Amino acid sequence: MFDWFAQLAPVNQALLGTLFTWGMTALGAALVFTTKSVNQKFLDSMMGFAGGVMIAASYWSLLAPALEMAEGNSLPAWVPAAIGFLLGGLFLLLADKILPHVHPDKPLESAEGIHPQNKRRSTLLVLAITLHNIPEGLAIGVAFGAVAAGFESATLTGAIALAIGIGIQNFPEGVAVSMPLRRDGMSRSKSFVYGQFSGMVEPIAAVIGALAVIFIAPLLPYALAFAAGAMIFVVAEEVIPGSQEKGNTDLASISLMIGFTVMMILDVALG
């Protein structure tokens, strides 16, 4: 079934994988055409589910392969994984401090970054989700690049599973951008455009990630762990708190566990 896909260059595989994830973002954003608002419990459960998917993907699709690939080198296997993981979190921390953005359902006064007052709310909102999509695109690109590099622990089905999992969790991200913009008075079409635009960065990041590990194979364990660290930072700082701040803590927690389980099954069964 995937023979045609397996014959593609890894960069093209990463591009197609993230076009799917971008499409899922657009699908979530398209809800703005069918409803005026999304039930808060439903939205919180989707965000919790997304967090679970990202946590599971960070380990099974990224950290575990990074540890396996680093074995047998001069350094202990945990060194590249630890360094890459922490650098991924540090990258997102610095980006949060620099890039002007505001998170969904937050007042404009809570905007972060450098000179956020110079940007419109719609721009700040899109930048927030776009910032968090960068590690997801990198993760997919690095996963497909690892397959091309010939590492035994990296499989094509595993990379596809990662793309599917991230695509699933991108759906609520599209909703999280388009719905607040619609509530702020923006037209449905513009709300959709801004909502799906936040996923556009993933194909770009994926191509960069795939090219990087193909041409600099020794960096692959660091790159995998970097993507994992960046995703965990997003989950810990934004996804989990955001899913529970409206009081739906039990629902969000159970949804997170379901998302984790779904991604674990996807990765283990397909990888």
Residue 113 pLDDT more than 80? no
Residue 199 pLDDT more than 90? no
Backbone angles phi, psi at 101, to 5 degrees: -165, 160
Percent of the chain with pLDDT over 70: 90
Residues 203, 51: Cα–Cα separation, whole Å: 21
Of 105, 172, 95, give the one whose Cα is nearest residue 127. Answer: 95
Residues 166, 94: Cα–Cα separation, whole Å: 23
Q: Residue 101: which pLDDT band, with cuts at 50, 70 and 90? A: low
Q: Residue 121: which pLDDT band, with cuts at 50, 70 and 90? A: low
Q: How many CB atoms within 10 Å of residue 224?
A: 37
- Structural domain boundaries in the chain: 39-270
Residue range 64-77: average pLDDT?
84
